[in-house]
Every structure is written in C-alpha cells, then in structure tokens.
Amino acid sequence: MHRPPYRVLVVDDELDFLETLVRRLEKRQVAAVGVTGGREALDKLSQHSVDVVVLDVRMPGMDGLEVLQEIKKRWPLVEVILLTGHASVESGLQGMELRAFDYVMKPCKLTELLPKIEQAYERKCLREKARQ
C-alpha cells in the first residue's frame, strides 16, 4: 500500500480520541501527527508543512474557531476540517463561514473522515496550482 502524499495535523484536547485517530490514520499510511491544543497546533504549523488540519472546535484556551481563523490568516492554503460535538452544529456552520473545508460530528467514523481529508487535500492542490 502506498503512502498518500498529504500530511495531516489532528488537534483535539481529548488525548484518547487524539491518539486513536492518529494511530488509525497511520495504519492507513497517512502521515499524521497530533497535538492537544490550539497554540501547539500553530507552533507545529510554523515548523512543519501540513496539508490538512482536523481540528476540534471545543478546546480549553484557544478554541477551534480561533485556531481556524489564525490558520487561514497565516497559512491560507491549508485546509481545515472541524470536529464538532452533537450539540454544536452551529459552530460547524460558523466554521464553514470562516473558510473551513468541512465539518464532521464527533465521534466520527474514519470511513467518513478519510474521504473528506482526501477532498480537502485535492482542493489545496488545485488552489496551489491556481496561484502559480
């Protein structure tokens, strides 16, 4: 099985969920790394090239929508998929207004998330080509 060309950053303050998701992505040969907070995510992005960020909306400190805005300001081509809890569909929609690629409900199935990551990566590639 060949490794997909994209790199994914998973941001979630629930450590069990974060580690499980990163492990499941890696099992599918996806280059994935996880961090537990918004500031860590921004640090990671400034040090490493990432194509798609899977970002929890509800986190202590800097919440997902704040992180999304900062990502779009500093790395406009990076695509972001928001993870929202069952009670926060409106935050997913708000994220779409802030230029998130899409959102999924937690807990999410990898079979639902993986195609969205691939579509987000394809959109990033198209946007990079358009800038050349």
pLDDT tens column, 35-57? 999 999 999 999 999 999 999 99
Q: Within a 10 A sphere around the Cβ of 20, how many other Cβ atoms?
A: 16
Digit-coded pLDDT (tens) for 52-72? 999 999 999 999 999 999 999
So what's the pLDDT on residue 106? 86
Tokens 């081509």 sit on residue: 77
The answer to whether residue 11 sits within a structural domain is yes
This prediction's pTM:
0.93
In a domain? residue 2: no
Q: Is 29 left (phi over 0), alpha (psi -120 to 50) or beta?
A: left
CATH number at residue 119: 3.40.50.2300
Total number of domains constituting the chain: 1
Nearest by Cα to 43 from 60, 25, 19, 62: 62
Phi, psi at 68, each rounded to 5°: -55, -45
Q: What is the pLDDT of residue 132?
A: 80
Report the distance separating Cα 94 and Cα 88, nearest Å.
10
Residue 52 lies in a domain: yes
At 27 the pLDDT is 95
Length of the chain: 132
* Pairwise CA distance, residues 22 & 104, whole Å: 16
pLDDT by residue (tens digit) across 73-127? 999 999 999 998 765 667 777 888 899 999 898 888 899 999 999 999 999 999 9
Domain membership flag for residue 123: yes
